Amino acid sequence: MGSEVHLLGQSLLQLGRQLFLQKNYIEARESLTLSLEFQPDAAETWFEMGNVLHAAGQHAEAEERYAGAVAINPSYAEAWYNLGVVRLAQRQLLAARQAFEKAVSVRPSYAEAHNNLAITMQAAGQWEEAMAHYRQAAYLSPAFAEPRYNLGMLLQECGDFESAAATYASLVEQNPGHTDACNNLANVFLELGMLRESKLAYEAVLARDPRHPEANWNRALLQLQTGEWEAGWANYEWRLQQPRSNLDRFPLDMPRWDGQARPGHRILLIAEQGLGDALQFLRYAAIVKQKVADSGGSVIVECHKPLLTMAARVDGVDEVCAIGDPRPPYDCWVPLMSVPGTMQLADPPAVEEGGYIDARPDLAEAWAEKLPVLCQGNERRRVGVVWSGNPNFVANAKRTLRDADVRRLTAGHPEIAFVSLQKGVPMIDGAGLIDPQHDGETMEDLAAMLVHLDLVVTVDTSVAHLAGAMGRPAWVMLPLAADWRWMKDCDDSPWYPSMRLFRQESRGDWAPVIEAVKSQLALLVE
């Protein structure tokens, strides 16, 4: 009788497996449930029941079945692994990690378990341990692409671009069709300043997947960086296909402006990215207005609240509104950074002396009195300093000076009054910086101060764009992999004639940049 019960239980188990493979989950579950009535201690049946529930999206119920399987057979590596998977699906990171640890302890050669264990370790910030398990998974299963791809992304996130490049290159060599790895390889090449290699990698991605959103967008950034304006602006539209795009802010139920003038149309220009981007592209408001003025058209700008009053004074702007506030009536819209592509413009438009953004006269007059007192007299040169961008920006670290860099920059120049224009980070002790306590709610105080400074020395921030847009002298210190708008291998800017660029020669090394700026500051006071 016992053997018959066993055979019946096994038959129902096999039937359940077949039904599961046919995606007949309801009948598979019924067959496995009946099998357990004959063989309640069959770990395999508990495991298969977990698989059925997992496939049906019933993760909590699947977790119970996998837990039942490993309770019966603690050496059941696949059950431990799947238990970790359903716990991950429920965002139980610690419990998932414990399950994957059990899986690799009972089967050290389990590549998939090492990979998923690494994922949980990475999520917990244990990057070194995660890398070790990614590498172990790749070693155990050379054809398994996922751990090497995950390792490449983690190395990239850690800023170890050389190792990330080697990891991605090895993966792409073995799996030429892995377009995401090839795209990331191109991104890493950009970080290493290897533009030619980056271009070839993007082209390899697009040869296989012409509509790869990220590769098209990144290729656009590379094209803009190298002055391929027409192609760059066209491909720049791919930014709107990215997961983090601002499509939710665009009125997709309204017509998008096509660059043509129509009688009386009110065109809404929407600033979709950061403060610096908005300041850089506000110059296009005048060009849009020139296009539509003869037909009675008008230009409305929607921008960040700190720029609102400033944008209202820009030539060509008829009306402004702040992001998030009700919009005035309009007939069509266009993202501000899409204007060059929409109007099929080539080179960046020239900026006349004095710029296209001005300071409020009343604030400029007030700072004319305040700054000399702060700077101990008009006989001293006044240099504004910014050493960090927005600390919440994901790539801020590579463009930010260390405290020691700032102290070295300001040391040895007693004839210069260094005025902090920095907001959002603490002042640096021992750098001799003057804190003017300017209003941080808008950029109007900054603009008014810039009128009375001899120079601004800054990293890549919105202050650099403000100074350039006002036509004020500015020296910008750039990382090796600078943003596309600063072009490549030049010390001037087609966007801002009043600007001078100082570039890193090797990644992360600010020392030569600081020394170059200091030597030029010495000439400033001669």
Residue holding tokens 């590498």? Answer: 135
pLDDT, tens only, 363-392? 999 999 999 888 886 567 999 999 998 777
Whether the domain at 249-342 and the domain at 361-524 fall into the same CATH topology: yes
pLDDT reported for residue 2: 46
- Tell me the C-alpha to C-alpha distance, in Å, between residue 444 and each of 357, 361, 465, 514: 11, 10, 14, 29
pLDDT reported for residue 38: 60
8 Å CB contact between 454 and 266: no
pLDDT reported for residue 27: 60
Residues of the chain with pLDDT under 70: 1-38, 377-379, 394
| C-alpha–C-alpha distance, residues 275 and 407, integer Å | 27
Residue ranges covered by each domain of the chain:
2-238, 249-342, 361-524
- Tell me the C-alpha to C-alpha distance, in Å, between residue 422 and each of 365, 400, 447, 478: 21, 12, 13, 17
**What's 409-431 look like in SS3?**
HHCCCCCEEEEECCCCCCCCCCC
Q: Which of 195, 172, 196 is nearest to 184 (CA)?
A: 172
Which class would CATH give 361-524? alpha beta
pLDDT reported for residue 524: 85
Bridge partner list, 266: 298
pLDDT, tens only, 33-74? 666 666 777 788 778 778 878 888 889 988 988 999 999 999
pTM of the model: 0.86
CB-based contacts of 165, cutoff 8 Å, min separation 6: 185, 188, 189, 192
Which class would CATH give 249-342? alpha beta
CA angle 203, 483, 347 (to 5 degrees): 80
Q: Output the DSSP codes for 11-37.
A: HHHHHHHHHHHTT-HHHHHHHHHHHHH
Q: Which CATH architecture has domain 2-238?
A: Alpha Horseshoe (1.25)
